[in-house]
């Protein structure tokens, strides 16, 4: 094993019952390695469907689905009892449940300043809006932040999920309940805490995951008898006391959200973010589950390891093939050195994840950086007038979203407006320009600049056959107006470019397939510099279509960096590093520096499509 690998391995605290000292408990700035850490993941149950159920005032027992055109994007739990899933069409769903209530998402229509719920909206003339769900999500997150005791942290994980770090609030309550723990013995802060007092199962609000579970991970199929509220927890630790306190805090938040807004939630509580997310699905809906340290092996070992985030996709397939493994338990005999020899030094995080070890922080990301409105167009737009029609619809959506954000952040303003399009299988095109500051703004202001970008991007002779279009703000920040982003250095109108050796099919593949696993579409690895880039949670995008578009925008932003580098290096006779531009050798030949991606990185890279 390399020195680097050894250093990482030495940081691993794989003990299920680590020695907890006074230093761990009394530290005012506990780090992610602290064995007293307590994290929760709270998930809104069937969120889009719940939003519609609350909006329409329907009973919770009524089966409801939310549709986007003919597809389903949300199915509530009563509808799931009929075997309805998001993988089927609305026609198939209604065959299974004739009484099914189907609600189409709100849509934008030209001439309307707000998204509305229309009867029989047409994808040719309407654009899906998720604004209502975003607003409801913001209300829930606001309640979490308001109810979080001093010292706690919250993080929006997605439109329907939030992480909550209760470590500091739990520590404060624990010291109130057991004041003798504040008295540091003469031996010093590194003295182990005294044995934890007995703890009844009734102290936990929710389902305690048993120390032994079946491969199904179904709480109804446990090998253990359910705990009686009067039962004492076996081998109780101070961390168990911390989990019990956190379960009470989390339960109060969930109850308040339910009583105030009408939304049920399911939560998982454990020692870190990864385990909290995994155990949140242990029992649903409207429930919470607690994973004690002693229960981690029994919970993880029978689990299919590819269910763990980042261990699906190509990497998961390679691990499964290499070791003939399916479950986490199948991989426990693989030591760190062996894993690093096969998959590189970075695979230490795989080794950690299989053991329930995760050092990622719960950190609020409040800086909104981007807004995007996008549309996959079927059939393609074939006239300039039809493109302008859709630009105006997207301008309306961007105006509403920016207006909402400026209500709480009045100085928020975008630096740039970006137009991106695809025509059939041709290379993708984009153009961007500075967005001028104005005390007041409207749809016309955004639409006119969008139309200007369209006219500059397409010549009058270019045939029109647009099957993907997006309009977005980038560089959102609270600052002085007039600042210019990268394209400002190349001219007022922005930089026009056709991306060679790439079509929209590849763009969407990069947005959806360059990922950590099959369930995550939020990162990509640049094939030129080898670095990985992840979509920040502050990007206000949700849903399949917008997520794919956001990833396209993220990739384009990074491509701009290389684009600027290439331009600056073309005039250099001896560039310090090889770059992927015309080298001037031979007739039109191009020599590109190939980046060899080693270790686990190669399992996250999509090879370019063949042009043959």
Instruction: Note whether 285 and 76 are within 8 A (CB).
Output: no
- pLDDT value, residue 556: 54
Q: Are residues 390 and 529 both part of a single domain?
A: yes
Task: Compute CA 364 distance to the chain's CA centroid, rounded to the nearest angstrom.
Answer: 13
Q: Are residues 298 and 446 both part of a single domain?
A: no
DSSP β-bridge partners for residue 525? 532
- pLDDT value, residue 545: 47
Q: What is the CATH number of the domain that holds 338?
A: 3.30.70.270
462: tokens are 């270019």
Does residue 242 carry a pLDDT above 90? yes
Q: Are residues 390 and 299 both part of a single domain?
A: no
Q: Are residues 309 and 421 both part of a single domain?
A: no
Q: What is the CATH number of the domain that holds 478?
A: 3.30.1490.100
- pLDDT value, residue 225: 53
The half-sphere exposure of 129 on its side-chain side, counting CA atoms within 13 A, is 26
For residue 37, being part of any structural domain is answered with yes
What is the C-alpha separation between 134 and 327, in angstroms, rounded?
36
What is the C-alpha separation between 166 and 576, in angstroms, rounded?
49
For residue 419, being part of any structural domain is answered with yes
pLDDT band at 38 (very low <50, low <70, confident <90, very high): very high
Q: Are residues 211 and 285 both part of a single domain?
A: yes
Q: Are residues 549 and 496 both part of a single domain?
A: yes
- pLDDT value, residue 541: 47
Q: Are residues 384 and 347 both part of a single domain?
A: no
Which residues have C-beta within 8 Å of that of residue 326, sequence separation ≥ 6? Answer: 304, 305, 320
Domain ends where: 354, 381, 409? 354
pLDDT in tens, 69-109: 989 999 999 999 999 999 999 999 999 999 999 999 999 98
Q: Are residues 533 and 494 both part of a single domain?
A: yes
Does residue 515 carry a pLDDT above 60? no
Whether a cis peptide bond, with omega within 30° of 0, leads into 307 is: no
pLDDT in tens, 375-399: 888 889 999 999 999 999 999 899 9
Q: How far is CA 554 from CA 249, 371, 400, 490, in A?
A: 37, 11, 22, 20
- pLDDT value, residue 346: 85
374: tokens are 């996008």
pLDDT in tens, 278-316: 999 999 999 999 999 999 999 999 999 999 988 888 888
- pLDDT value, residue 113: 72
Range with the poorest average pLDDT among 40-49, 82-91, 536-545: 536-545
Q: Which residue has the higher pLDDT, 124 or 85?
A: 85
Does residue 213 carry a pLDDT above 80? no
Highest average pLDDT, of 220-234, 314-328, 479-493, 564-578, comes from 314-328
Which residues have C-beta within 8 Å of that of residue 596, sequence separation ≥ 6? Answer: none
Q: What is the mean pLDDT of residues 349-363?
A: 91
- pLDDT value, residue 66: 97
Q: What is the mean pLDDT of residues 364-384?
A: 85
What is the C-alpha separation between 431 and 451, in angstroms, rounded?
11
Instruction: Note whether 529 and 596 are within 8 A (CB).
Output: no
Whether a cis peptide bond, with omega within 30° of 0, leads into 547 is: no
* One-character DSSP codes across 408-426: H-TTEE-SEEEEEEEETTS
In terms of residue numbers, what domain contains 457? 370-604
Closest Cα partner for 343 from 325, 323, 319, 359?
319
- pLDDT value, residue 125: 87
Does residue 197 carry a pLDDT above 50? yes
Q: Specify the number of domains making up the chain.
A: 2
- pLDDT value, residue 44: 97
Q: Are residues 284 and 320 both part of a single domain?
A: yes
Q: Are residues 277 and 424 both part of a single domain?
A: no
Domain ends where: 354, 385, 418? 354
What is the C-alpha separation between 346 and 448, in angstroms, rounded?
48
Which residues have C-beta within 8 Å of that of residue 197, sequence separation ≥ 6? Answer: 178, 236
Instruction: Note whether 363 and 273 are within 8 A (CB).
Output: no
Instruction: Note whether 475 and 485 are within 8 A (CB).
Output: yes
Residue 185 CB neighbour total at 10 angstroms: 11
Q: What is the mean pLDDT of residues 566-575?
A: 42
pLDDT band at 253 (very low <50, low <70, confident <90, very high): very high
Domain ends where: 354, 382, 403? 354
Q: What is the mean pLDDT of the chain?
A: 79
Does residue 423 carry a pLDDT above 80? yes
pLDDT band at 604 (very low <50, low <70, confident <90, very high): low
- pLDDT value, residue 524: 61
Q: Are residues 528 and 596 both part of a single domain?
A: yes
Does residue 609 carry a pLDDT above 80? no
428-440 burial string, b = 16+ CB within 10 Å, else e?
A: bbbbbbbbeeeee
86: tokens are 């998001």
Does residue 420 carry a pLDDT above 80? yes
What is this structure's pTM?
Answer: 0.73
Q: How far is CA 351 from CA 16, 110, 277, 332, 334, in A?
A: 15, 53, 18, 9, 9
Q: Are residues 401 and 543 both part of a single domain?
A: yes
């Amino acid at each position: 094993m390399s020195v680097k690998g050894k250093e990482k391995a030495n940081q691993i605290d794989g003990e299920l019952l680590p020695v907890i000292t006074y230093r761990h408990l009394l530290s005012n700035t506990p780090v992610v390695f602290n064995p007293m850490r307590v994290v929760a993941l709270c998930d809104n149950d069937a969120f889009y469907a719940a939003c519609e159920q609350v909006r329409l005032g329907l009973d919770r027992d009524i089966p409801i689905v939310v549709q986007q055109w003919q597809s389903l994007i949300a199915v509530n739990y009563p509808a799931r009892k009929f075997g309805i899933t998001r993988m089927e069409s609305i026609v198939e769903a209604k065959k299974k449940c004739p009484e099914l209530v189907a609600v189409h998402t709100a849509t934008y229509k030209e001439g309307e300043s707000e998204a509305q719920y229309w009867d029989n909206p047409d994808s040719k003339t309407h654009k899906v809006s998720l604004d209502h769900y975003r607003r409801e999500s913001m209300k829930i997150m606001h309640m979490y932040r308001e109810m979080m005791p001093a010292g706690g942290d919250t993080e929006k994980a997605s439109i329907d999920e939030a992480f909550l770090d209760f470590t500091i609030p739990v520590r404060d309550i624990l010291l109130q309940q057991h004041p003798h723990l504040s008295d540091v013995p003469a031996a010093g802060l590194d003295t182990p805490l005294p044995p934890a007092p007995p703890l009844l199962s009734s102290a936990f609000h929710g389902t305690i995951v048993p120390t032994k579970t079946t491969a199904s991970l179904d709480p109804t199929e446990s090998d253990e008898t359910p705990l009686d509220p009067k039962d004492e927890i076996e081998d109780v630790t101070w961390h168990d006391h911390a989990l019990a306190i956190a379960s009470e805090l989390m339960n109060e938040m969930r109850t308040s959200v339910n009583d105030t807004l009408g939304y049920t939630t399911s939560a998982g509580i454990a020692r870190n973010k990864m385990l909290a997310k995994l155990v949140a699905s242990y029992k649903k809906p409207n429930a919470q589950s607690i994973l004690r340290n002693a229960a981690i092996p029994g919970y993880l070992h029978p689990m299919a390891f590819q269910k763990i985030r980042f261990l699906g996709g190509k990497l998961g397939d390679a691990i499964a093939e290499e070791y003939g493994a399916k479950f986490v338990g199948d991989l426990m005999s693989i030591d760190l050195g062996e894993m690093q020899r096969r998959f590189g030094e970075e695979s230490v995080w795989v080794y950690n994840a299989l053991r329930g070890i995760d050092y990622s922080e719960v950190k609020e990301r409040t800086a909104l950086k981007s807004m995007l409105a996008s549309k996959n167009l079927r059939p393609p737009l074939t006239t300039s007038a039809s493109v302008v029609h859709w630009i105006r619809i997207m301008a309306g959506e961007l105006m509403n979203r920016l207006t909402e954000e400026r209500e709480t952040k009045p100085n928020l303003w975008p630096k740039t407006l970006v137009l991106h399009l695809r025509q059939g299988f041709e290379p993708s095109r984009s153009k961007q320009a500075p967005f001028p500051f104005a005390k007041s703004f409207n749809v016309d202001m955004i639409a006119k600049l969008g139309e200007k970008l369209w006219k500059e991007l397409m010549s009058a002779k270019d045939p029109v056959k647009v099957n993907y279009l997006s309009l977005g703000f980038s560089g959102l920040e609270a600052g002085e107006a007039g600042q210019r982003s990268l394209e400002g250095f190349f001219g007022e109108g922005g930089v026009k470019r056709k991306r060679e050796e790439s079509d929209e099919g590849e763009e969407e593949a990069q947005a959806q397939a360059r990922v950590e696993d099959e369930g995550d579409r939020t990162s990509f690895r640049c094939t030129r510099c080898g670095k990985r880039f992840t979509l920040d949670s502050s990007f206000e995008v949700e849903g399949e279509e917008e997520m794919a578009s956001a990833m396209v925008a993220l990739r384009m932003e990074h491509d701009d960096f290389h684009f600027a580098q290439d331009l600056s290096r073309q005039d250099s006779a001896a560039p310090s590093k090889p770059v992927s531009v015309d080298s001037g050798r031979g007739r039109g030949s191009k020599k590109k520096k190939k980046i060899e991606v080693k270790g686990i990185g190669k399992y996250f890279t999509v090879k370019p499509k063949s042009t043959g």
